[in-house]
Amino acid sequence: MDRSALAKALARAVPGLEVIAEPEALRPFESDGLTALRQLPLIAVLPTAVDQVQAVLRYCHREGIPVVARGAGTGLSGGALPHEAGVLLVLSKLSRILEINPTRQTARLQPGVRNLAISEAAAPYGLFYAPDPSSQIACSIGGNVAENAGGVHCLKYGLTVHNLLAVTIVAVEGELLTLGGPTLDAPGLDLLALFTGSEGLLGVVVEVTVRLRPIPAQQEVLLAAFDSIRASGDAVAAVIAAGIIPAGMELMDKLAVQAAEDFVHAGYPRDAAAVLLCELDGEGPVLEATRARVMAVLREAGAVSITVSDSEAMRLKLWSGRKNAFPAVGRLAPDYYCMDGTIPRRYLGEVLDAIAQRSEAAGLPVANVFHAGDGNLHPLILYDANAPDGVARAEALGNEILALCVAYGGSVTGEHGVGVEKLDAMCGQFEAPELTRFKALKAAFDPQGLLNPGKAVPTLARCAELGGMHVHHGQLPHPELPRL
Amino acid sequence: MTAPPAPRRDLAAEPEVARLCDAVKSAAAEGRVLLPRGGATRDGALGPFSGEPLALAAYAGIVRHTPTELVVTARAGTPLLELVETLAAAGQRLPFEPPLPAREATLGGAVALGTSGPARAYRAALRDALLGVTLIDGTGTVCRFGGEVMKNVAGFDVSRLMAGSYGELGAMLEISLRLEPLPEWSQTQALACTLPEALARMPALAARAGALSGLAWLDGWLLARFEGSAVEVELDAKAAGGETLLPEDAATRWARLREGPLSAKGDGALWCLSMPNDAPALELPDANWALDWGGARRWVRSTADPGAVAAMLAPHGGHGLRLSPSVVRTPQPAALRALEQRVRQAMDPSGVFAHGATPGEGP
């Protein structure tokens, strides 16, 4: 079906539905946060009610048309990249906060509610929503569920999956289903856990019930400087080993520290090889006791200086460097490529050293800014997409880093998702038996494969072909596929 | 280059695992049904189960406990009590306070039932602590999902799906869990009150960020447990008020709440109900109640019939499990049951694990 025919048919099938079919009007939807990959959908639709979402899916299911759901479009792995022959289902207009229930400590939300708006709405009740991805000003809860979003504070308070009670989805054939419920545990299989982080492959989120938590009495941040990246990584492991779970623990290496300092003047020591930000929360006396323990561990681990925020203004200033680190690093080179691997925390120092070696060998600088407490690395590979082989070299180094994470018992993605970006890397983490089960689970929800096709789970054929890539280095398979 | 520290072990090469895989393959080929079985400690309470037992208790032992990482990987047949004791010796524990019904109860059995204790409402559920599961699927093939890292969004989260799957998705071999440090201090405050008074007071106690790790009502006492640093516990306990229980007394009461606080013997039926904490005190005939999870889990012994219990729970979005005289579950929506059935088939195409111990089936 061509663009205008589909637009007309859907508008007829779903009264009142906003349909966008002009290529120029579709342009803003051609990519998500991974802007290197672009694709116009056949059409985009912006439903304003759940029954419209159901009607769209019913129609597409009947006609065999692919559907890609999209929230705020902040995802970093191309999970919301449109399908050339499909409908882009934009959920940003379903953006009402349906209920804040302070007694239950829950919020009921439409999928387009922005992450930060939840905490803002809950604040008058002394509550907040803990998962706080760096895009929290813009990203929406439906996308957070689809990606199992993390953030700085998930070290202590958990990921999206730990803070959900229920998700109402529209299944591929248009049926409304609620996974989980208003109770702490739901009967039957934990389909809520299976659905969380399923990247739009299993259904479309139309309502989310999240758990809220009491706002801590006070927060403060410790900034510790180290004279080697290895020592800083080992310090993170030492804090956890001491049985302390801070609210957040973030690391930045020298390149990131200097870039952030030049950009926002957060007051970081420019000569440090690494800076560790450690957030603590609780009531005054509790903070004091924890601070003393953390400082002792950090000194023992080789911290050369420790600064403690003495006001909310100073706490926010110290965080500003971390929060602006990506754009700050972005000023150092024409392009950067953000990786998202995870490793067991005890190997942080070792793996950071290994990344530095590979960076040097590849001749591409790597800045590290990441959720150290969770072992979630975000190496930012600096490159120039216009240089000969620039993209290929950056991608090759990225794949080396992800392979390193897998070799250390980790994962190719901690919070950004697989999307289209890490389909090849998935082949290194999983083998045929697991991929076969993933495919079967997908089919249990969506037998025709209409929901977000081609994302998140690579085909066995792709992985088999990729096996050859490592033998014939430099000759990438699937030259037709867009690549970073 | 540094050598990879944790090369992927090929579990299928282990003779015991190969034997289990063969058993699954031949049962699948012959259309027989297998019941993955740990310590068989729940047959009385939750059975009878059908299917030929596939014994997993011998596949036991802690594979890797890295105390500095707060992570453990153990074989599914590992006795839960042994695991709990080993972790305690290293100053750590499972964050979900699992029931410990008998010495024979296994880690795999705990994951299959997915049950968590009083800490579930304020700390973590079993599924929250699950990081990875290696299992034999319905085709007799070893599959490894998740791992030992805190964050992992590669592929569908099959590990957490195993929590509460009742052994119908596969035979678990290895399980990786997130741990927490043993608290420096634990203290329980007790307040004499009625059940409706307890329900009314609980939200205010839970509204304070801090060390709360249990909120229950048992034998006419509201119990609030605080665990953490001594400073934090002292502050929170003081704010809660009431009288401080002696540590042994507190431990006994929380152990009762963990295992099921009401006796399975006696008149009427024993139920474990799950509902929102703000649901009111419910009226059931000849009822004897205990509350856990701040009122979100309610144990009751009553002469009410299952239909009456289901009807009473429905307006609150609650559900229930009757534990005695025989197992009955309040019904689930048909569409959800059909989807669950397809998910089971995705993991187990030939139905070799379709032994029918499915939660969610109506009376």
Residue-wise pLDDT for A361-410, tens only, equals 999 999 999 999 999 999 999 999 999 999 999 999 999 999 999 999 99
Say yes or no: B258 contacts chain A, CB-CB below 8 A.
Answer: no
pLDDT at B313: 95
Contact between chains at A175 and B276 (C-beta distance less than 8 A): no
Nearest Cβ partner of B155 from A175, A376, A426?
Answer: A426
Question: Tens digit of pLDDT for each residue in B260-292?
Answer: 999 878 889 999 999 999 999 999 999 999 999
Q: Which residues of A are less than 8 Å from B137 in CB distance? A: 433, 437
Q: Which residues of A are less than 8 Å from B155 in CB distance? A: 418, 426, 429-430, 434, 438, 456-457
Q: Which residues of B are less than 8 Å from A445 in CB distance? A: 339, 342
Domains and CATH numbers, chain A: 3-90 (3.30.43.10), 97-214 (3.30.465.10), 218-328 (3.30.70.2190), 330-471 (3.30.70.2740)
Nearest Cβ partner of B154 from A161, A215, A426?
Answer: A426
Q: Compare all CA atoms of chain A with the CA of B346 and give the residue at the minimum distance.
A: A440
pLDDT at B4: 55
Question: Tens digit of pLDDT for each residue in B128-156?
Answer: 999 999 999 999 999 999 999 999 999 99
Question: Tens digit of pLDDT for each residue in A291-344?
Answer: 999 999 999 999 999 999 999 999 999 999 998 998 899 999 999 999 999 999
Contact between chains at B319 and A175 (C-beta distance less than 8 A): no
Contact between chains at B158 and A437 (C-beta distance less than 8 A): yes
CA distance A110 to chain B (A): 19
Residue A478 has pLDDT above 50, yes or no: no
Do A151 and A169 form a contact (C-beta atoms < 8 A)?
no
Contact between chains at B149 and A245 (C-beta distance less than 8 A): no
pTM: 0.95
Question: Tens digit of pLDDT for each residue in A140-158?
Answer: 999 999 999 999 999 999 9
Nearest to A181 by CA among A173, A171, A191: A191
Element (H, E) at A249: strand A248-253
Please name the residue ranges forming H helices in A112-251: 115-122, 141-147, 154-157, 191-195, 229-241
Confidence of residue B170 (pLDDT cuts 50, 70, 90): very high
What is chain A's length? Answer: 484
pLDDT at A475: 36
Q: What is the mean pLDDT of residues B293-310?
A: 96
Instruction: Please provide the distance, in angstroms rounded to a whole number, between the alpha carbons at the two ends of chain B.
Output: 61
Amino acid of residue A146: A
Q: What is the mean pLDDT of residues A473-483?
A: 37
Confidence of residue A454 (pLDDT cuts 50, 70, 90): very high
Fold classification of B11-181 (topology level):
3.30.465
Contact between chains at A181 and B317 (C-beta distance less than 8 A): yes
Any residues with CB less than 8 A from the CB of B112 and at least 6 apart, and which? Answer: B36, B38, B162, B164, B165, B166, B167, B172
CA distances from B161 to A198, A260, B169 (A): 13, 41, 9
Q: Compare all CA atoms of chain B with the CA of A157 and give the residue at the minimum distance.
A: B123
Q: Which residues of A are less than 8 Å from B343 in CB distance? A: 189, 191, 194, 441, 444
Architecture per CATH, domain B185-259, reads as 2-Layer Sandwich (3.30)
pLDDT at A481: 37
Residue B259 structure tokens: 């295992």
Question: Tens digit of pLDDT for each residue in A401-450?
Answer: 999 999 999 999 999 999 999 999 999 999 999 999 999 999 999 999 99
pLDDT at B46: 74
Q: Compare all CA atoms of chain B with the CA of A347 and give the residue at the minimum distance.
A: B5
Contact between chains at A197 and B157 (C-beta distance less than 8 A): yes
The whole-chain average pLDDT of chain B stands at 93
Q: Which of B1, B65, B150, B168 would best serve as a mutation to test chain A binding (most A beta carbons within 10 A)?
A: B150
Q: What is the mean pLDDT of residues A213-223?
A: 97
Amino acid of residue B253: R
Q: Compare all CA atoms of chain A with the CA of B135 and give the residue at the minimum distance.
A: A434
Element (H, E) at B340: helix B334-347
Confidence of residue B6 (pLDDT cuts 50, 70, 90): low
Helix A3-13 to helix A50-63 angle (10° resolution) is 130
B 10-49 → A contacts, CB under 8 A: none
Strand partners, B146: B132
Do A398 and A279 form a contact (C-beta atoms < 8 A)?
no
Per DSSP (E only), the strands in chain B are: 34-37, 52-55, 62-66, 71-75, 92-93, 130-136, 142-146, 171-178, 180-181, 185-192, 212-218, 221-228, 243-244, 269-274, 288-292, 297-302, 319-324, 328-329
CA distances from B200 to A43, B161, B206, B280, B318 (A): 52, 34, 11, 9, 19
pLDDT at A259: 96
Residue B69 has pLDDT above 70, yes or no: yes
Residue B306 has pLDDT above 50, yes or no: yes
